[in-house]
Amino acid sequence: MYSIGIDIGGTKIAGALVNDLGEILEQRQVPSPAHSAQQMEDSIVELIQELSQGNPVKAAGVAAAGFIDAAQSTVYYAPNIAWRNEPLKDKLEARINLPIVIENDANAAGWAEYRFGAGKSFTHMTMLTIGTGVGGAIIANGELFTGGFGAGAEIGHLRVQPDGLECGCGQRGCIESYGSGRALLRYLREETGNPALDANEGKKLLEDGDPAAWRALETLGSWLGIACASLSAVLDPQVYVIGGGVAAAGEHLLQPIRESFLTNLSAQGYHPEPEFRIAQLANDAGVVGAADLARKHAEKL
Ligand SMILES: [Zn+2]
C-alpha cells in the first residue's frame, strides 16, 4: 500500500511517495509559499497529484510546524506559515479524492523513528529533536500521544529553571532555552571566549573535536538529561531518541545526557534505565512519518 507524505518547512515543501515499509519510492521538492495560505494549499495539492500519478495511493499526510487539533484536521496556529484556524484537512479533501491527515512535524518525525528508525523495537518512546529549538514527540503504548487538544508533547517548553531565561512561548526557564542548538552556540561562545562566534564556526569546532566544543556539548547534554529525568517520572519511556542537527555529535551528546539523567532521576538506582539513541531517519523523518500516519488512518476507515 502506498501513501504520500508532505513536510512543510519555512523555505521548502518536501513530498514523497512511501510504501508500507517506510521506503521512499519517489521524492519531490518545491519552494514554500509561506506567506500565502492559498498558494500553500495549491502547492500541496499539486505535489500530491504529481506523486499519485500512476500509483495506487491510499492516503496522504501533511506535516507542518504548529498546533494541530487532536482530530488531525485543523491547523490552529503555525508560527512560520500564514495559517490561523485553517481547516486544512477539509480543504484538501475537497480537492483531492484521498483521505488526508494533518500532523505536527515533530510528531510525524517521531512516528517515523518509532515505526522504522531508532525506536522500532519499543512500545514507549520519547523523542527530542534538537534543532534551533527543542521539539518533541511521545509514543505511548504504540500510539502517538498528542494530548486532549492536540497540543501536547511540546517537550521544548518543559520548565527546567524557575525564573530562568525568557522563552519564545512567553514563559521563562523552558528546556528550549538550555538544550537547543541556539543554547549550544551560547555555550560555545562562553567556552571559546568569543562572543562573535557564529553557527558555522561552532559547527566546525564540533567537527574538529575541539575541547571547547566537547565542554559545550557536556553543558547542553546535562540540561537535556535533567529534562529527560523529569520526563521519565511521568512517561517512563523505554527509549529516548535524540534527533535534529545537533544529534550529529552522536555519543559526545548522548554520554552527558545519560550521566545527567542518572544523577537527576527519581528513585535513583531502582528505576530501570531507558536507552538513549540517535535518530536514524534524518531529513526524511517528516515525510515518512506523515505518510505512515496517513496509511494508518486510511486502514481504519
Ligand atoms: Zn517555552
At 38, which CATH number? 3.30.420.40
**Distance from the alpha carbon of residue 181 to the mean position of ligand 1, in angstroms:** 15
CA of 165 to the centre of ligand 1 (A): 9
* Mean pLDDT, residues 247-253 taken together: 94
One domain for residues 76 and 94: yes
Average pLDDT over every residue of 107-118: 97
Q: Which of 245, 291, 297, 285 is nearest to 120 (CA)?
A: 285
Indicate if 141 and 208 belong to the same structural domain.
yes
Residues 152-209: tens digit of each pLDDT: 999 999 999 999 999 988 999 999 999 999 999 999 999 999 999 999 999 999 999 9
pTM of the model: 0.94
Task: Calculate mean pLDDT across residues 76-82.
Answer: 82
**296 and 247 belong to one structural domain:** no
What separation in Å is there between the alpha carbon of 53 and the centre of ligand 1? 42
Cα of 166 from ligand 1 centre, angstroms: 8
- Looking at the fold, whether 89 and 231 belong to one and the same domain comes out as no
How many domains would you assign to the chain? 2
Question: Has residue 30 been placed in a domain?
Answer: yes
What is the whole-number distance in angstroms between the Cα of residue 120 and the centre of ligand 1? 29
Cα 167 to ligand 1 centroid, rounded to whole Å: 5
C-alpha cell at 276: 538513549
Q: What is the mean pLDDT of the chain?
A: 94
Residue 110 lies in a domain: no
- Answer yes or no: do 67 and 206 share one domain: no
Which pLDDT does position 58 carry in this prediction?
97
For ligand 1, the distance from its centroid to the CA atom of residue 74, given in whole angstroms, is 23
Residue 95 forms part of a structural domain? yes
CA of 172 to the centre of ligand 1 (A): 7
Distance (Å, whole) CA 110 – CA 144 = 8
**In sequence order, which ranges of 235-284 are alpha helices (DSSP H)?**
251-264
**What is the side-by-side order of every strand in the sheet holding 75-77?**
67-68, 75-77, 84-86
Q: How many angstroms separate the CA atoms of 265 and 230, rounded?
A: 7
> Is 180 part of any domain?
yes
* Ligand 1 centroid, distance to 235 Cα (angstroms): 20
Answer yes or no: is 44 within a domain.
yes
Same domain, 270 and 129: yes
Distance 65 CA to ligand 1 centre (A): 15
C-alpha cell at 191: 567556552
Report yes or no on 246 lying in a domain.
yes
| pLDDT at residue 82, rounded to an integer | 83
Same domain, 209 and 61: no
Cβ contact 5:275 at 8 Å: no
Distance 223 CA to ligand 1 centre (A): 15
**How remote is the CA of residue 176 from the centroid of ligand 1, in Å?**
6
Spatial neighbors of 270 by CB under 8 A, at least 6 apart, are none
What separation in Å is there between the alpha carbon of 240 and the centre of ligand 1?
A: 21
| 239 alpha carbon – ligand 1 mean position (Å) | 24
Q: What pLDDT, on a 0 to 100 scale, did the predictor assign at position 98?
A: 96
139 with 246, same domain: the answer is: yes
Let me know whether 47 and 167 are in one domain. no
User: Quick count: other Cβ atoms within 10 Å of Cβ 181?
Assistant: 18
Q: Tell me, yes or no, whether 164 and 205 share the same domain.
A: yes
Residues 171 and 233 in one domain: yes
* Cell (9 digits) for 145: 500521544
Residue 298 CA: distances (Å) to CA of 44, 57, 134, 206, 291: 19, 11, 31, 44, 11
Question: Distance between CA 78 and CA 10 in Å, rounded?
Answer: 10
Higher per-residue pLDDT: 81 or 142? 142
Query: 132: CA distance to ligand 1 center in Å?
Result: 13
C-alpha–C-alpha distance, residues 253 and 230, integer Å: 19
Confidence of residue 264 (pLDDT cuts 50, 70, 90): very high
Assess contact for 199 and 185: CB atoms under 8 A.
yes
Task: Return the pLDDT at 171.
Answer: 94
Domain that holds residue 204: 118-279
Q: Are residues 67 and 215 in the same domain?
A: no
Indicate whether 211 belongs to any domain.
yes
Highest mean pLDDT among 10-14, 73-77, 94-98: 94-98
Query: What does the angle CA 177 – CA 187 – CA 242 come to, to the nearest 5 degrees?
Result: 60
Maximum distance among all Cα pairs of the chain, rounded to whole angstroms: 58
Residue 112 counted as domain residue: no
Q: What is the distance in A from the centroid of ligand 1 to the CA of 276?
A: 24
